[in-house]
Chain A
Amino acid sequence: MTSIVRIYLARLLPQLIALAAILIAISMTFPGFLNLEIQNGRLYGSLIDILNRGAPVVLLAIGMTVVIATKGIDLSVGAVMAICGAIAASSITSGHSLFETILITIAVGILCGIWNGILVAVLDIQPIIATLVLMVAGRGIAQLVTEGAILTFNDAGLIFIGSGSFAGLPMPVVVWLVFGVLVALLVRQSALGMLIEAIGINRQASTLSGVLTPVLLIAAYMLSGLCAAIAGIIAAADIRGADANNAGLWLELDAILAVVVGGTSLLGGRFSIAASVLGAIIIQAINTGILLSGFPPEFNLIIKAAIIVFILVLQSPRFRTAFAFLAVPRRAAKTTEQEAK
């Protein structure tokens, strides 16, 4: 058991160090950043705020991780969020119960995922392009549902999902924690994760060796659609309304960034859901940190770009081979030593 924990920690170490560094940097410029207090049975503080505000990106990153692990990408998640927010708002205002609303919304999200999955798995279209279709059309569909207006609602149950609290934590945090643990257990306690990685490394070889590639691919995009649906419900519940134009705008890029920061290669194969979640929290910590430290928010994007480039350079195969020469002599020396013995 301890060895498993140690392996996990070793995998997450770079992300944990990065997060710690960012948190320390913020707390130096903004004293009181690390303070936590309990009011009315709920935790308050900047740290909790980061976990809470980061909820949509964390959720999207969970689905995106699995899709990217299959060597795919899902550009439509932001638009699906907008569609699902619109569906949730229109369903609750037209008199459906909270349970029905959530069920309908999740079904729509999964349906969007099935659409993407079929384009990728059955029609064999490149994932970037396949999901681009829904990205282009999705916001139009969301506007169609809300009829161009911001659809507001007043249902206490739905609002609770956005701003309520459970066991001292804000509801969105509870939702992504539970969902993330469930997905991580599902892929890691079964062979599912390994099969997904196999598809990402070589789809053709996996198919030939008997992996049900199309089913798993569609399932990956379905999961991504489901994540987008939950994120859409949270985003709509948070502002008590569905905004077809701005809900989830550019969040697909933040989700991809979170996965990349988490160390999952965009070329498919190896993946870690916990690392992606940490990646999403790192991004949110940067956003919040820049705001709190009184730094102009205009620099937000430039800092983000710098971080992506830095991480990508570290990940790039060419960079690794360029620095491999540093490792080679040592290994060579060791073998000669062994031979001498």
Chain B
Amino acid sequence: MVQVAEERRTRRRRASVPPPVVFALVLIPFTLEVVGVFWPAINGVWLSFLNWNGFSAAEFVGLDNYARMFTDPVFFTALRNTGIWLILFGGISFVGGLAVALLLQSERRGVGIYRSALFLPIVFSLVVTALIWNAIYQPNGILNIVLTNLGLGDWTRLWLGDPSTALYAVIVAALWRQIGYVMILFIAGLKAIDPAMLEAARVDGANWWQRLRYIVLPQLRSVNLVVLSVLIIDALRSFDIVYAMTGGGPFRSTELLSTYMFEAAFTSRQLGYGSALAVVIFLLAVGVIISYLVRAFSESKED
């Protein structure tokens, strides 16, 4: 008996010490990611303290690049637009995605077609999305044609050429592509809710709104967290669609931090200032996500 137990123990111990090849399996990908992502990221932070055009000698300027943002009106335009983007793109995707998920969650005939129509745009690149919507917004495009035919000729305009509408026009295009994705996340979350709970509430006389408010939404909390994180990161990273539709214009009216960063670093070759803007994007992403996580965490402790 003792011998058997001992034998078993040694076998378990032997199994718990991974063979060397396992370390290689883990370390090769890990190293690639460290070298390909974290090392450049740390390097990017270092670059943000330099004044450098990439050719002549780099000069260490401390926090000058960050101080410069406070006197840079374009930075504030980009920051404000990024805020608008975060709230409108993030907010409408969230609410719209949840709404269509609630509408299309039940399995019935035809629902698959409606869902497919909503998430088909996810397969397109943001560049393709940009070109599709660019055509819609053309001066003689469908939007203006429809408005004219509805007798709303006064409303027609150069949607992407007018600084007061360009940013919103781009956001609509981005939403068209994003809502289907958010819908899928929410449908997955809704499917995970125990139907018995809803049935019990129904028996107790809870109406549709009460079931949504007191059962569905609280049950979706973990999905909410995923959706919001995805939306915040997507919003702050957004680049392709703006770059492709307006390039940040007209008159910087669609400039986001990400497009301004690209322009500063690669068009005007101010590598230090561009890197500092990238660090700001990073800090905003971390800040928004952490503050949301802290709130979600303290809320769940209250229960």
A binds B: no
